[in-house]
Amino acid sequence: MFIVDAHVHIYPPEFESNRDSIATGEPWFDKLTKSKVHRWVSAEDLIASMDKNNIACSYATSFAFHDQGLCRIANDYVLNAAKQYPNRIKALTVVSPNRPGACEEIARCAEEGAIGVGEIFPEGQNFDITNTSETWRLVSSCLEHNLFLMFHTAEQVGHQYSGKGNVGAKEAAKFCLNHSDIKVIFSHFGAGLWAFEAMPEMKLILSNAYYDTAAMPWLYNEKILDAIFAIGAGHKILFGSDWPILDFSKYKKLLDLTRLDTEQKSMLLKENVSTL
Ligand SMILES: [Zn+2]
C-alpha cells in the first residue's frame, strides 16, 4: 500500500555536534534531546526507514526553536532533503511565530518548496495559539503561500513526558474558532479534540481541523481509531508516526487490531492527507 507518513523529524548534523551550546538557550530542545527515546537521524536514515516500512512519502520537519536563526538552519536542512528526494520527502518548516522574521521565513520556505508550517511547539516557543494578536501574522502568511499549519498539542490528562506541553483541546478549539480559513493539523490526536466532533456546533467550528496519530503506541490503544471513524471524523485523521522515536511497525500492530475496513485504513494511511 502507498503510505504517507505525515509527521517525522530529521536533524542537520550540526544540531548534534552543537547540542550543548544550542541547549543552553533552548530548554525544550535540551529536554527532548536528553530524553532516552531521542535519536539523531538524517534524511538518509529516513529514506532507509521508509524503504524498510513501505512508506512512499514522509512529511518531514526538524525542531521548532524559540530562536529564529536556529529555525532557519533546521529549515535549510529539511528543504534540501526534500529537493534531494523529491516525491519521497515533503518539507514542513518551522518558525518562531512571535519573533521578528517569521513571515519572511515562511515566504522564503514556500518559495523553496515547503508544503506546510510545523510542528509548531506553542509552549516551547512562547506562543499562545488562543490569542489572535499572536496568531494572525502566522495564519495570514500561511494562507498567502497556501501552506497548512501543524501544531503540537497533547492530552492534558494522564502521564507526563518530556515535550508534552500545556496546549490541549481547549486551546486548539479556540484557535479554530478564531481562524476558520486555514487547514490545521493538531498533532497527537489533537489532545482529544476529535471527540467534540460529535457536538454539532463544534463539528462546524472544527471543520478546518485535522488530527494525526503521532505517538499513538505510547498513549492510546487501537480503539481510539475505531472511535474516530464511528464519530464521523475518519476523513480528518492522518497517519503520522513521530519517527524516529516510534517506528511504523508499532502502528501496524495497532492498526491490525482495529475494526477499520480496507477503505478506512486507506483513508488513514494515504487518502486523507491529500485533502490538505
Ligand atoms: Zn509533537
The pLDDT score that the predictor gives to residue 191 is 97
Q: CA separation (Å) from 82 to 63, 91, 106, 112?
A: 16, 6, 16, 10
Confidence of residue 161 (pLDDT cuts 50, 70, 90): confident
CB 163 within 8 A of CB 31: yes
Q: How far is the CA of 14 from the centre of ligand 1 (A)?
A: 22
pLDDT at 163: 84
pLDDT averaged over the chain? Answer: 97
Geometric angle at alpha carbon 202, from 200 and 205, rounded to 5°: 120
Distance in Å, CA 243 to ligand 1 centroid? 11
pLDDT of residue 162: 80
Cell, residue 36: 532516552
Q: How far is the CA of 240 from the centre of ligand 1 (A)?
A: 10
The strand pair at 148-151 and 184-186 is best described as: parallel
Query: pLDDT tens across 2-51, in order?
Result: 899 999 999 999 999 999 999 999 999 999 999 999 999 999 999 999 99
Distances (CA, A) of 71 to 8, 95, 255: 16, 6, 34
Distance in Å, CA 58 to ligand 1 centroid: 15
How many angstroms does the Cα of residue 192 sit away from the middle of ligand 1?
14
pLDDT digits (tens, 9 = 90+) for 208-259: 999 999 999 999 999 999 999 999 999 999 999 999 999 999 999 999 999 9
pLDDT given at position 260? 98
Residue 210 Cα, ligand 1 centroid: separation in angstroms? 14
Cell, residue 238: 492522518
- Model pLDDT for residues 177-215, shown as the tens digit of each residue: 999 999 999 999 999 999 999 999 999 999 999 999 999
**CA–centroid distance, residue 78 to ligand 1 (Å):** 17
What number of other Cβ atoms are within 10 A of residue 95's Cβ?
A: 30
Rounded Cα gap, residues 203 and 63, in angstroms: 31
CA–CA dist 85, 199 (Å, integer):
42
β-strands 89-93, 116-120: how paired?
parallel
Ligand 1 centroid distance, CA of 170 (Å): 17
Q: Can you point out the beta strands (E) in the chain?
A: 3-9, 55-61, 89-93, 116-120, 148-151, 184-186, 209-212, 237-238
Which numeric CATH code is attached to 3-275? 3.20.20.140
Where do the domains of the chain lie?
A: 3-275
Distance from the alpha carbon of residue 230 to the mean position of ligand 1, in angstroms: 25
Q: How far is the CA of 112 from the centre of ligand 1 (A)?
A: 24
